[in-house]
Chain A
Amino acid sequence: MSNTKFSKEHEWITLDGEIGTIGITKHATEMLGDIVFAELPEKGSNVEKDGTAGVVESTKAASDVYTPVSGEVVEINQSIVDDPSKINADPEGGAWFFKLKLKDKSEFDTLMNKEEYDKFAKESSS
């Protein structure tokens, strides 16, 4: 069973024990276009499910990044702040945004699996 789930706001989260790694989906980057700016939450801060936890800007517009689950930010990926084009290049791999210590694992369980998300993304973009 896969440990990666997806939100309706086009974030992915991979769970490893009680730590979730969060980023935005490839589909999201394709909708946004070239990303030129990224802002991340502060390490040590607490974020609430569906709350704003960052910003990405493309040449066209700014978009909020939401966290799909609640928790404490334990690590951030400074490399995407320094070079935001990495997000377009490898959105579901090396260009993760932040890691959370989950507050409530049941929030993770309610998210979409890969198949559900792909269907959702296809429908929402058509």
Chain B
Amino acid sequence: MNIKKTALFELHRKHNAKFVEFAGYSMPIQYAEGIVKEHNITRNKSGIFDVSHMGQLFVKYSDDVTDKLQEILPTDLKNLKINQSKYSFLMKENGGIYDDLIITRMKDQYMIILNAACKQNDLQIIKNKLNDQNLDMNNDLSLIAIQGPESKTILENVVSSVSKLKFMNGCDFSFKNSEIYITRSGYTGEDGFEISLPNKVAISFVEELISRGSTLIGLGARDTLRLEAGLCLYGHDINENTSPVEANLKWAISKNRINDNFIGSQKIKRQIEEGVSKLRVGIKPETRVIARESTKIFDEKDNEIGKVTSGTFGPSVNASIAMGYISNSHSKTDTKVYLEVRGKKVPANVCDLPFYKKSYVKGEVNV
């Protein structure tokens, strides 16, 4: 199989990227600076992420399409305003998640941003639901994120008025006579924007951002940033066998849809009424030891009560951090648990997410 490259591949190479294969794409895991520095650059200044491997699906708007999409997404699309975005899930019959996604209502179409590893499967599900076999991902577009406190000013200098956007809202803009679409959103816990733009202007756009003080950041730091922000990574923290309720993402199910019909809704409704047996929580080891994915979690009596789904070292909180599923009886904040790492039991505590909050960290933690 041919490894795919994004439109920014040559630029990544010019910036000394180390590449890894991710979902069939050759993607930068880090650049010369390294993961910790790239993480801190994003938290303190501004970082640019190439996320063009993600799927960009555009579906023509109609009332019928809205109805059909509501059958597979637990989101109130009827009250979604033009240029408004929502975090949602492509639902499975068992209440599990085929993918998590961002759906934006544009003027005459929906834009749906899908995970790279899931996008082909997602496309088939959506095609079947909409009964439209001609539907396809737009491969002529790149997707760039710019994240961090200085991003607003930097992007404003390239795309005027962009700083007026509200969180989870988007708008059309132009760059070098090309139409681009920008939303105020991201995956780092920082203020930031995501830009959908034609491949042919992608490199010059990113070079403009770099020349104004932003820096290319790899997937390695993207992972430490999102984990500190308590955000889920599909295929790890959520999958086809975890429901949004178990994943502690009930907030993303629109309130007026809970009693509505969508795929998996019966299971969701039951879980909301009767509770769940396992829940996704934050976990903080008491030492610096890292509890990576699949680390077993035990209670004080040595009963296995769960598993870690993501774990790393959080540079901004200067501590080992993890999240995972734990039996509901042990999911309360500050519950003492034990993580089995290399045969030893490491004490840890269930904690609230996110690990990192902008307002909280400012002035309290050295980053």
**Known contacts A36-B313, A55-B342; A60 and B292 CB within 8 A of each other:** no
Asked if B242 is at the interface of the complex by the 8 Å CB criterion, the answer is no
Count contacts on A: residues with CB < 8 A to the other chain: 14
Please report the C-alpha to C-alpha distance between residue A81 and residue B288 in the assembled complex, in whole angstroms.
9
Q: Which stretch, B29-37, B98-106, B121-129, B134-142, touches the partner chain A?
A: B29-37
| CB contact between A57 and one of B30, B35, B290 (< 8 Å): that residue | B290
Contacts of B224 in A (CB 8 A): 59
**Known contacts A33-B30, A36-B313; A62 and B290 CB within 8 A of each other:** yes
Asked if A37 is at the interface of the complex by the 8 Å CB criterion, the answer is yes
Contacts of A57 in B (CB 8 A): 289-290, 313
Please report the C-alpha to C-alpha distance between residue A11 and residue B90 in the assembled complex, in whole angstroms.
49
Pairwise interchain contact A34-B35, C-beta atoms closer than 8 A: yes
Closest CB-CB distance, B162 to chain A, in whole Å?
31
| CB contact between B289 and one of A34, A37, A59, A85 (< 8 Å): that residue | A37
Pairwise interchain contact B36-A85, C-beta atoms closer than 8 A: yes
Interface string of A78-99 (1 = CB under 8 A from B): 0001001100000000000000
Asked if B312 is at the interface of the complex by the 8 Å CB criterion, the answer is yes
Pairwise interchain contact B292-A34, C-beta atoms closer than 8 A: no
Pairwise interchain contact A84-B288, C-beta atoms closer than 8 A: yes
When C-beta atoms are compared, the residue in chain A nearest to B290 turns out to be A57
Asked if A75 is at the interface of the complex by the 8 Å CB criterion, the answer is no
Contacts of B312 in A (CB 8 A): 59
When C-beta atoms are compared, the residue in chain A nearest to B221 turns out to be A59
Report which A residues bind B (CB closer than 8 A): 33-34, 36-37, 39, 55, 57-60, 62, 81, 84-85
Q: List 25 A-B contacts (CB under 8 A).
A: A33-B30, A33-B35, A33-B220, A34-B36, A34-B37, A36-B36, A36-B290, A36-B313, A36-B315, A37-B290, A39-B289, A55-B342, A57-B289, A57-B313, A59-B36, A59-B220, A59-B312, A60-B29, A60-B35, A62-B290, A62-B292, A62-B342, A81-B288, A84-B288, A85-B36
